[in-house]
């Protein structure tokens, strides 16, 4: 939008669709009435009395936050926030919302001479809520003047600032592009600047002669350095803390499974998974924090924007390298045979939590017991829910006869915990389940492959059950054995 003389400003000029024909250029006609949706959007922007509720219903505000946030970080004023151009809006018929699409960002780094900053060195101090006029650019104006939308925008800006807008990342990109085009700059006999000016401008400002393309040109690296300082200071003055610093213990690696063929992900595939738990009574926004399986590469995978772990809640990450699937999918897999580590880190790479582990058995997880605070023990998985010592498993590798044996629980009677031991005669898929006197399943204590020569010791916690008689049954493809136990409270 913005190709005509009139500005695509999103101001309200009335309900007559023809009043907008000269301001917006229709590119596709996928609807019978292609203008009605745009006019309705403009109406909401300008006339809604609860814009923080009504705007997100028809407009993908997150795509807009990212677009203007990037424009502001790079001082690209040849955009909606100033020039009122260089964007598309597209009606997504799947979501029913308009999407904001950016194009032509060639006058970034404060190079736009027609804007409020004039392409001067002051572009590095551009306000993080800059708009040429809240009245003439009401979409940005409403975002910056509504407390809810402004807070959401600033959090999105924080994510961009912490994740992408750092000198190490951007300087490397500048050097890479400069190296690519340098031979062509040198060979160009008709360029409007000298080769030395090209080299100088990589690091510092230059001033070119008058005419088109003339004036002050901010140095690429000097602009980024000054811009980072300015943005940091502005955010501090606004009371916005971008550097999420989660304290150890607040968020923990609570459970993981590196050998799984029993719990499918949303795509129906049984993959490695990691469970996080929020030990606090407040939601934790962990956008931009890191998860890795290598201490030497702690920033291997980064949580996407708007990743929140609910208060006293759980979050599942699939470690399967399937980032195109629904849900959170890390770009690494866990080793079930050799063992490795899992590291959760803040944006500054300080470690929030970590665990090292050895080889893992199929369909058994490593779980913190007690939930969220305890040490890791091997157990039947409690996927996306509270870990309980009901299912903790201990294996003894002493010389144990290879027989299929279910031992009597001890103590018996018990209150509220007891231990159940069993062995198997050959490697096979085995289950241990508890039933009440009506034959109703109470809990599965063990489900997975068991090996001969090991003593499996299961702790059963019946603290939530009523007194009475219960039965526990060990079952494999060829054998079944059942015993009785008594809970007395």
Going from the C-alpha of 469 to that of each of 404, 438, 466, 472, the distances in angstroms are 24, 10, 9, 10
The three-point CA angle 443-445-450 to 5° equals: 145
State pLDDT tens for residues 414-425. 888 888 989 888
Cα 359 to Cα 166: distance, rounded to the nearest angstrom: 38
Q: What is the predicted pLDDT for the residue at 208?
A: 79
Q: What is the predicted pLDDT for the residue at 1?
A: 58
Cα 207 to Cα 108: distance, rounded to the nearest angstrom: 17
Mean pLDDT: which of 2-11, 39-48, 201-210 is highest? Answer: 39-48
Q: What is the predicted pLDDT for the residue at 113?
A: 67
In this structure, what DSSP letter does residue 252 have? E
Q: Report whether pLDDT(461) > 80.
A: yes
pTM beyond cutoff 0.85: no
Percent of the chain whose predicted confidence (pLDDT) is above 90: 47
On whether the CB atoms of residues 403 and 425 are closer than 8 A, the answer is yes
State pLDDT tens for residues 292-350. 998 888 889 999 888 999 999 999 999 999 988 888 999 999 988 887 899 999 877 78
Residues 6+ apart with CB under 8 A from 154: 128, 235, 238, 240
Annotated domain spans of the chain: 1-242, 251-379, 405-487
Q: Report whether pLDDT(256) > 50.
A: yes
State pLDDT tens for residues 28-39. 777 678 899 999
> What is the average per-residue pLDDT within 57-73?
95
Same fold, 251-379 and 405-487: yes
Cα 473 to Cα 81: distance, rounded to the nearest angstrom: 69
Question: What topology is assigned to 405-487 in CATH?
Answer: Immunoglobulin-like (2.60.40)
Helix (H) or strand (E) holding 65: helix 61-73
Strands (E), 314-372: 314-319, 329-330, 340-345, 351-357, 365-369
Confidence of residue 44 (pLDDT cuts 50, 70, 90): very high
Asked if CATH classification 2.60.40.1260 holds for the domain at 251-379, the reply, yes or no, is yes
Q: What is the predicted pLDDT for the residue at 315?
A: 95
Closest to 253 measured CA to CA, from 288, 289, 281, 282: 289
Q: Report whether pLDDT(4) > 50.
A: no
Percent of the chain whose predicted confidence (pLDDT) is above 70: 92
Interior/surface letters 143-179, b for 16+ CB within 10 angstroms, e for the rest:
bbebeebbebbbbbbbbbbbbebeeeebbeebeeeee
Cα 356 to Cα 397: distance, rounded to the nearest angstrom: 22
In this structure, what DSSP letter does residue 124 have? G
């Amino acid at each position: 939008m913005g190709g005509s003389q009139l500005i695509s400003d999103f101001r309200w000029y009335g309900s007559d669709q023809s009043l907008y024909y000269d301001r917006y250029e229709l590119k596709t006609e996928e609807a019978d009435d292609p203008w009605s949706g745009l006019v309705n959007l403009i109406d909401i922007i300008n006339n809604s009395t609860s814009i923080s509720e009504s705007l997100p219903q028809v407009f993908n505000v997150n795509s807009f936050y990212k677009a203007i946030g990037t424009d502001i970080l790079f001082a690209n004023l040849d955009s909606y926030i100033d020039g009122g151009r260089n964007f598309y809006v597209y009606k997504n018929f799947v979501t029913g919302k308009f999407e904001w699409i950016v194009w032509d960002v060639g006058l970034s780094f404060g190079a736009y001479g027609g804007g409020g900053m004039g392409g001067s060195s002051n572009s590095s101090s551009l306000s993080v809520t800059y708009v040429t006029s809240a009245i003439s650019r009401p979409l940005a104006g409403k975002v910056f003047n509504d407390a809810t939308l402004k807070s959401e925008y600033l959090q999105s800006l924080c994510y961009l600032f912490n994740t992408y807008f750092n000198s190490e990342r951007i300087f490397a990109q500048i050097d890479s592009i400069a190296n690519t085009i340098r031979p062509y700059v040198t060979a160009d006999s008709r360029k409007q600047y000298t080769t030395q000016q090209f080299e100088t401008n990589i690091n510092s400002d230059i001033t070119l002669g008058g005419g088109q393309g003339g004036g002050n040109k901010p140095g690429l690296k000097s602009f980024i350095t000054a811009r980072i300082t300015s943005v940091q200071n502005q955010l501090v003055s606004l009371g916005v803390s971008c550097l999420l610093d989660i304290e150890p213990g607040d968020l923990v690696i609570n459970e993981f499974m590196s050998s799984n063929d029993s719990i499918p992900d949303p795509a129906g595939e049984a993959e490695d998974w990691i469970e996080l738990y929020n030990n606090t009574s407040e939601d934790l926004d962990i956008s931009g924090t890191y998860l890795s399986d290598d201490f030497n590469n702690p920033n291997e995978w980064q949580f996407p924007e708007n990743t929140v772990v609910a208060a006293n809640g759980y979050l599942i990450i699939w470690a399967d390298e399937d980032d195109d699937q629904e849900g959170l999918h890390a770009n690494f897999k866990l080793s079930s045979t050799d063992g490795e580590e899992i590291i959760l880190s803040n944006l500054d790479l300080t470690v929030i939590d970590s665990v090292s582990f050895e080889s893992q058995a199929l369909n058994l997880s490593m779980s913190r017991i007690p939930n969220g605070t305890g040490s890791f023990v091997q157990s039947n998985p409690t996927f996306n829910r509270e870990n309980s010592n009901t299912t903790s498993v201990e294996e003894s590798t002493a010389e144990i006869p290879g027989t299929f044996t279910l031992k009597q629980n001890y103590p018996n009677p018990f209150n509220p915990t007891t231990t159940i031991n069993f062995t198997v005669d050959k490697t096979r898929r085995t289950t241990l389940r508890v039933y009440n006197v009506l034959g109703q399943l109470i809990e599965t204590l063990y489900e997975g492959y068991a090996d001969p020569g090991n003593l499996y010791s299961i702790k059963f916690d019946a603290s939530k059950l009523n007194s009475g008689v219960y039965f526990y049954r060990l079952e494999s493809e060829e054998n079944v054995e059942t015993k009785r136990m008594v809970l007395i409270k």
